[in-house]
Structure 1
């Protein structure tokens, strides 16, 4: 995938009937289905059953089994509730009759109310001053570990720019934080809010566990640690556009029992808080 249109072709599901949809997969460098893909496809399925103009405001999901890239995914949507202000949908994703994923999503009618938010970091480096994953590949590809180089070589519809580029050959523990700018490739005009939320959900599964691995970087890395998303929650606060860079600012309060917990906030360049994310992931040391 090289553009936002390629991403939309992946995320917009085939309709079987009013509550069943079919999705397909593309790799992001792993042998398993990317969690962000299943999250976004499930949100697409849930949104397609909302007929009262309500807006997605939260979702909570569990990854139950690793998805297989070569099999279609069937998404089944249940209407849990259509109340006076909120609508709730439950989505299950299956492959060959096995449930691999479940998600609940809540939609709210548009209402006026109180408004506040936390501030974006004031000393953050701007994307124009940073190297993207593509830049890192071109400038340092010959020096990168093979697995990381292969990961960077995958074509993506998103450009990422971390505010700190870590030397993977230096084995030093790092603070439990990570800040990454991101921007879509291609024409981002005329995207409705529901579509933008689905794309943002897809992107939210990138980078977030890095902050949980950082404090253990002297001994742990992607090559000797089994990682996988276990659950994922997201709250959507404000409308936004993809015509400029957005910042995903992440932190990890805890790692224990072979699991790491991370949370993050997504801001527009001008500091508007767009969404918040929380995820717990498997971080299992491998004995080699």
Structure 2
């Protein structure tokens, strides 16, 4: 089988939204090359072992297993992250949360928390762009914290730490910004039985109260952890923007607004907390 013939096998991935890209990524993983190599050497023949391994990967992808799980890697922001079935797979829409967070604070000595960090994607992206921020990522799943720390070490990012605990439980002090991509899918949503999410941890996807339970919990709790003028930012579902804005405004957050993702859908809602003594702002800027 040549590379060109392997690429043509993309026609078998009828259930995928991006069959050609899927096959390219599987081949790059298998051959240890970049996508450009595939286009430059279509005549290159796979040996027997490579062909067998490729067919096995293709079969798993046809069964619906995510490409990120098959390769163990997923690109996010400017980083390549290790992923595993213990966490959500980082997605491009979440980069909207990173963009909005970076727009709220300059590269000063600020304390920032990422709740439910998973692979560490958001925390590591923020820390890589703001070297003077001190970022804390927390997750209640031990395997996720271990994975995030492996990503940190491999990327050589020193201004972030990962701790184990549920939401605010492992945090001390106050923060100039709190970000989160929490579970926000309604347990009754039929899309949970489709696509890649079938292979991701349900606990990281679904929340009660039509998907808003964890957002409600974090929005309430963040008031005890934000400095005066500190920002809270959430990723949420495309149809939850109005509900999250109403929640934040009702809790006393100011400058509440929603940013859209690359598809023009509501994706990130944010607000600024006004009600903490000004001197605590200085204590949080480390």
Do both proteins adopt the same fold according to a TM-score greater than 0.5, normalized to the shorter chain? no
The structure with higher relative contact order (CA 8 Å, sep 6+) is: 1
TM-score after normalising by structure 2 = 0.24
Which structure shows the bigger proportion of residues in strand conformation?
A: 1
Bigger Rg over Cα: 2
More helix by share: 2
TM, length-normalised to structure 1: 0.24
